[in-house]
Amino acid sequence: MLKLQGLQILLTVLASIVLLLLIVTAGIFFKIFYSVQRKPRHAEKFSLPEGAVYVPHHEQMISWIKEIRAMDRRDVSVTSYDGLTLCGKYYEYKKGAPTEILFHGYRGTAERDLCGGVHRCFAIGHNALIVDQRAAGESEGHVITFGAKESRDCLAWVDFVLESIDKDAKIILTGISMGAATVMMAASMDLPKNVIGVLADCGYTSTKAIIQKVIRDMKLPAKLLYPLVRLGARLFGGFDPDAFSPIESMKKCALPVIFFHGDTDDFVPCYMSEENYAACAAEKKRLVIIRGAGHGLCFPVDMETYFKELRDFFPCDVV
């Protein structure tokens, strides 16, 4: 009888521990991967990145946002492989011009993160398609997968350009931060020959690496907590963050890739682009480090170098 009572107590304790772990895992999942329902954007308001490093650039960002809101555009959408409606905005510089498909960063939106990208595209004669990634902006979904599923969404956007804009388009996949991870992971997939290159700005090497880095920045035990992060993604998000990564994709990439990164980036460290560049199997690749640029600020900090490097990297008939 005592043995039975002891077993019951042990089972109760174990069940309590499992329940506590599930609660903690669910909390971690909602903190990192879940995106709540988004409210419609008010035309008079501007969503800007927060943090002291961005404040000196807010005026320029607001100017770019006003600029693209005033431009002629085509509101477009695609259906993802798993049934989500994904939304974007197409800005045409000139019919027949190369088209960049641009992807924003973690918990960003197309307008907030890519307004300067439209300005840059037009300055070098490119059409620009900026897209709200799944679970962001006007697109459907609630789970951010750090590029795991977003990279497959790239294929739908490439197909859209070829079917609805220009069947002969020359396409460049462009991304910033998580968007860079997205396009790097797409780069080793079965893409049409129309895709002629990749621009990866301040991308990380893997979901595991960047999440562990952020956990360490919070003075918490990364090796202890990350298994719970991964478990939450698998249980509640339906994906494995360790199954695929930008750096592994780069090892199989044949497309030309130009990497940009700021040397004062304190969110995604510059060494991550250095590692992605070193791993990249493409015959044509380039790493450009912008001095004094924080996370996602390479273009605003040094537009002249950004333009020069793009013009040097891509053929003159593309740029």
Give the burial class of 114: count Cβ atoms within 10 A of its Cβ; 0-12 exposed, 13-18 middle, 19 or more buried: buried
> How does residue 46 score in pLDDT terms, banded at 50, 70 and 90?
confident
What is the rounded distance in angstroms from the CA atom of residue 162 to the CA atom of residue 223?
Answer: 44
Mean pLDDT of 172-184: 98
What is the rounded distance in angstroms from the CA atom of residue 230 to the CA atom of residue 220?
Answer: 16
pLDDT per position as a tens digit, 95-112: 999 999 999 999 999 999
Domain covering 52-206+245-313: architecture: 3-Layer(aba) Sandwich (3.40)
User: Model's pTM, two decimal places?
Assistant: 0.93
pLDDT at residue 52 greater than cutoff 90:
yes
Q: Which strands, in side-by-side order, build the sheet including 99-103?
A: 74-79, 85-91, 127-131, 99-103, 171-176, 195-201, 257-262, 285-290
CA R_g for the chain:
21
